A and B are shown apart, each in its own frame.
Chain A
């Protein structure tokens, strides 16, 4: 098959074709409150409760196996006290992303959730190279958001994205390579722009930008996070937790070296991910 490379410039694309969605106002407000150390926890609880749909989704999440709480939580105020403000911020953010992904295909949703869980497990594995800021809860968000650029392409450039799919399938080339050939830019480029618009951390935006090629990180110090995200993505593909028919990504030797994974700790990371399969399916059911 022949394809025409549109050679999109990402700035022109964002000006003329793609409108990046705004971060939901409730989530922006909660993030602002949590980032202010003087905010009383009760204010965070009230902000969540002001959005009933988000509050309900947050409560269902907090009672899932993923959070592993012994007691059932029946109010957002209780959840805030029990988990603390930063965990709640990640939880509310997750609930909000799940609301956004409700219309996404289940395979795609499963891949995003699985990548979040795999990333969390990798970051909790001894010997892995990660920054101090990249804790398990934060790491889950990295995985959850790593492919949001694909959603935007599917919404705004459906015809061109169908060509990407056809090219990847017909020639058995990785998805990101097909994107470069057809569009000139990748879902990693677009997802990173969305993360920056939402004022998420620079490390998160860079990890999304570099999860298929660590050279795409703006800050070289963020390449380790990008490599770990790429490894989490690779593990999900190897486990079959990916969209049907998508050719598995390739990770460079440099990226593998940056992860800090070796023949010992990679096995414990894999065991943790296999053991998480039940909670992945529960989270997918919550999100769908």
Chain B
């Protein structure tokens, strides 16, 4: 999905792969020490690191992409 500012000042990346029913449907790649690969943390475990705005961004986009409630995906992601 894209970069997210963590409330401890680090910059992570949100990755959306499945619906909210899947525990790992949204993952935050949290940076670790230099030269180490980022740690993939399931959204529900990373939620305390995220601002309210980023939580809304992530959950709404996940619902639009993978939910069955009728919300439409962004036009640029709707095709294919």
Contacts and interface: CB of A to CB of B under 8 A. Distances in A.
Interface stretch (B8-16, B21-29, B47-55): B47-55
Interface in A233-288: 234-235, 238-241, 244, 251, 256, 259, 261-263, 266-267, 270, 274-275, 277-278, 281
Interface residues of A, number: 22
A261 B53 CA distance: 10
Interface size range of chain B in the complex? 20 to 34
Interface of B: 47-48, 50-53, 55-57, 59-61, 63-64, 67, 69-75
B contacts with A: majority SS = helix
Nearest to B60: A238
A267 B58 CA distance: 11
A281 B70 contact: yes
Contacts of B55: 263, 266-267
Contact of B51 (A256, A270, A274): A256
A137 B24 CA distance: 37
Nearest to B50: A263
Contact of B52 (A241, A244, A259, A275): A259
Contacts of A234: 53, 56
A270 B53 contact: no
